[in-house]
Structure formats: C-alpha cells, structure tokens
Amino acid sequence: QVHLTESGGGLVQTGGSLRLSCTSSGDSFRSYSFGWFRRAPGKEREFVAAIKRYGGSTYYGDSVKGRFTISRDNAKSTVYLQMTTLTPEDTAVYYCAAGMGLITSSLGNGDAYANWGQGTQVTVSS
C-alpha cells in the first residue's frame, strides 16, 4: 500500500502550463506503475497518462498526446505530469493512481489501480 498526495493544481489561462506532482509514501516506489486520470464535471473518468515501473515506459490518452508529459523521480518517490498548451477542455480534477503488477494493456483502466490520491483541481480559463 502507498499513500498518494497530489499537488500543483490551480487556475491557468488557455495556452498556459502547469506541473502536477504526486508524492508517494510507503515502500517499493520503484515497483509501482503510476497513472494520471481526470474527471470533469458531468463526465466519466478519463485516462490521461501512465508510466510503468522500472523501465518507465510512458503512455498517453489521445486528448493529451503531444501536450502532456509524465515522468517519475524514484529518488524522490514522486511522479510528475507536465501539462502544456492547456485548454478549457482540460479543466478537471486530476488524480494520481498507483498499482503493482500492471500489464501494459491495463494502464489506461482506472479499475486496475489499487491506490488513489485525493485529487487536485485544474481550471483553465478561456
């Protein structure tokens, strides 16, 4: 089990950038794969990005490809989501999730993750 804490959300104008952080407490950070998901008002949860354990391969949802970058710093037990060229459609609560033993095909499925943070609000104004 890990405890996840997101930070870095806020209000930004269209075209701006934000970097979200997800800090993990607990052991074996390197053994976990991490995902970012978001939920906008009235919408289903959406996969944003994921990064695998160990080798750190990355995967992105179609709506953020080329604009968002996920990374991890194992020494700091932290996962980042760098978001650029933000639009109002990116407005949502962003959640960090962690899971062990996830296969590539499950990284975009929120139900595969056992550990979730409390979320951080990102609001993009037009």
- Per-residue exposure over 103-120, b if at least 16 CB sit within 10 Å of its own CB, e if not: eeebbbebebbebbbebb
Segment 72-92 shows an average pLDDT of 97
> How do residues 94-113 score in pLDDT, each as one tens digit?
999 999 989 999 999 999 99
pLDDT digits (tens, 9 = 90+) for 5-45: 999 999 999 999 999 999 999 778 999 999 999 999 999 99
Query: What is the rounded average pLDDT of the residues 52-75?
Result: 94
Residue-wise pLDDT tens digits, 58-67: 999 999 999 9
Whole-angstrom CA distances from 91 to 41, 54, 72, 80, 84 are 9, 31, 23, 18, 13
Report whether 51 contacts 72 (CB < 8 A): yes
